[in-house]
Structure 1
């Protein structure tokens, strides 16, 4: 093959090449047979990909491929997940997750207690020293009136009959690290494809472990159901395979079905009564940022959570180790109320006016 190429160059001088159209046709034919045209096409594709990658983060991991993606390759699999969860340009993404919450008491029944509305703000960067992606994130979940959609700050518990102050979920920060390999969030992630639909199914059941619940029964008998923190969260993360395969897309619209089963929220003040709280939400990455948030929710956030509405929306600091959750957040409120003498018996959240 190499000898044929050398002979081809010798036989067709530049002058004869332009003078003899037959030679041009022969050259094209021979070049195609020898794979030269294919190589040129491959080079064009590489140029196209580099052009498409101009808006991507810098740096990126070795072997990064913006698309088309091979879902069996761990890094491509991870790129698909991150295009859905964040934006590989490094720009922040606002997500919303409206839903409902129920109380489930075995042998007694199920009661819808709230509608909910969540807002999350995320930002992504690749850290070459850590060989993984830092996922900067904060989130709130607000409890709303099922009839009006207004955010509620007090609530009459239908089980106890007591009116309590509502403590909305405020996890800030709640960040994740996506390693390229090894670790709880390392790829590949389990997925299903049906036509153009890609779904990552992620099931997280947090097993009870000694010391993982800051609200112990001994110290917080009215606000703690058990000494061990135990929850389950179920995600179905969905997006378009065609959109994910397009190297021009640093992010792809995402819909996630999210379910959670947990212990009583501390503000319920239900102690160790048997039962669960069940959440079910539909989450979406917004196309227009904060403009896509329900106006009633925006009005409440402007007063209480303005950091979500102001650029850069997501955290800018990488918190080493500490992650806020509803139990650590509630513990701070309870301890502060006790220290200031703002309790009635064991009750911290009861409204007695």
Structure 2
């Protein structure tokens, strides 16, 4: 999925200890590698991934097609979980998403401009049907579901890390220009890319104006990506677009349409992701059919660079209206979860025994 392509610019050294799971071993066999291979060199016959120029071309071929004509389709599928103190995580809704991206030549003559639009839907956990309403289990309230629809979400691919998105001017940090060196890891025929970013920036939905939608004055977001890539495809100069599979997770405040307001907790996205060269190869054909009927432009990549590029929260602030408060004027919040009764009884019994023995 291409939505947050700049995220590969922020990686963690802890990823060096990633274990080789059975699923990864099978994936390596599919791409011609061996699970026990010790070949970890990132220097190939075509691209040298130890240099910014090689990283630029590898990144471009993952996110788009360097023929600067064809469309690259991204996808994500998974679930959204609720996280609150004193209770297990709760599966809330499913998630399905499709994006369409194209690379344009950079006007400086080096690198590319990636143009993209994407749309994502929340689904029923049992049936997989796209939701228009949802029963919030924390509040016991039926709420309107607002899908993700970002058009455009663009960025540049050069020899340097791109700047993080400014979220409509809300994120004003300007990091120094750093050579593009992505966290690639090779295991024989399998090439992995690990990336993550931690963000803390002003909320487009300020609580004074959006009391039911806003989780607070700032958003705290972390996104983590893991890519599985065919090493031989990446080193084949005749291949201008390299497909991949992977995972994407996002830690984020309660989604605004859930109307959780300042309730304790947050959401976690847990998904598979990937990118393919043909729309027929997308693994969520029901989603594609739904988009084709209801939102057809999202199956076509943009052809020109446009501004601004906004996230789903900025689009929400522009396109939605604040939910009304109840007549009392109080903001509804989810009741705080209590620790299990058996645990509380056990603690009370231990305390009583301790007091008696004193």
Q: Following the alignment from structure 2 to structure 1, what is the Cα–Cα distance between the partners of residues 245 and 285?
A: 21
Q: Which residue of 2 aligns with 1:330?
A: 316
Q: Which residue of 2 aligns with 1:142?
A: 121
Counterpart mapping for 1:184-333 below 5 A = 184=163, 186-208=179-201, 212-290=202-280, 292=282, 294-309=284-299, 313-320=300-307, 322-333=308-319
Counterpart mapping for 1:335-350 below 5 A = 335=321
Q: Which residue of 1 aligns with 2:152?
A: 173
Q: Which of the numbers 135, 145, 160 marks the counterpart of 1:156?
A: 135
Q: Which residue of 1 aligns with 2:18?
A: none
Out of 78-87 and 115-124, give the one that drifted further. Answer: 78-87
Q: Which residue of 2 aligns with 1:118?
A: 97
Q: Which residue of 2 aligns with 1:7?
A: none
- Alpha-carbon distance, 1:293 to partner: 5.2
Q: Which has the larger radius of gyration?
A: 1
Q: Following the alignment from structure 2 to structure 1, what is the Cα–Cα distance between the partners of residues 280 and 148?
A: 19
- Pick closer, same or farther for the CA change 1:67–1:125 going to 2, 3 Å: farther
- Alpha-carbon distance, 1:67 to partner: 5.4
Q: What secondary structure does 1:109 align onto? A: coil
1:78–1:189 CA contact under 8 A, matched in 2: no
Q: Could you tell me the TM-score, scaled by structure 1's length?
A: 0.71
- Aligned residue pairs: how many? 272
Out of 100-109 and 266-275, give the one that drifted further. Answer: 100-109
Q: Could you tell me the TM-score, scaled by structure 2's length?
A: 0.70
Residue deviations 1:233-285, cap 9 Å, x none?
00112211111101111011211210100001110001111111000111121
- Alpha-carbon distance, 1:108 to partner: 2.5
Counterpart mapping for 1:55-74 below 5 A = 68-74=46-52
Q: Following the alignment from structure 1 to structure 2, what is the Cα–Cα distance between the partners of residues 190 and 125?
A: 25
Q: Following the alignment from structure 1 to structure 2, what is the Cα–Cα distance between the partners of residues 182 and 158?
A: 41
Q: Which residue of 2 aligns with 1:47?
A: none
- Alpha-carbon distance, 1:140 to partner: 1.5
Q: What secondary structure does 1:226 align onto? A: coil
Give the aligned CA root-mean-square deviation in angstroms: 2.5
Residue deviations 1:281-317, cap 9 Å, x none?
11121243156353421332134311023xxx11223
Higher helix share: 1
> Which runs of no fewer than 5 residues in structure 1 stay unpaired?
1-64, 348-353
Q: What secondary structure does 2:125 align onto? A: coil
Q: Which of the numbers 76, 98, 113 marks the counterpart of 2:77?
A: 98
Q: Which residue of 2 aligns with 1:19?
A: none
Q: What secondary structure does 1:230 align onto? A: strand
Q: Following the alignment from structure 1 to structure 2, what is the Cα–Cα distance between the partners of residues 293 and 199?
A: 21
Q: Which residue of 2 aligns with 1:78?
A: 56
Q: What secondary structure does 2:219 align onto? A: coil
Out of 171-180 and 292-301, give the one that drifted further. Answer: 292-301
1:75–1:188 CA contact under 8 A, matched in 2: no
2:72–2:278 CA contact under 8 A, matched in 1: no
1:66–1:246 CA contact under 8 A, matched in 2: no
1:85–1:254 CA contact under 8 A, matched in 2: no
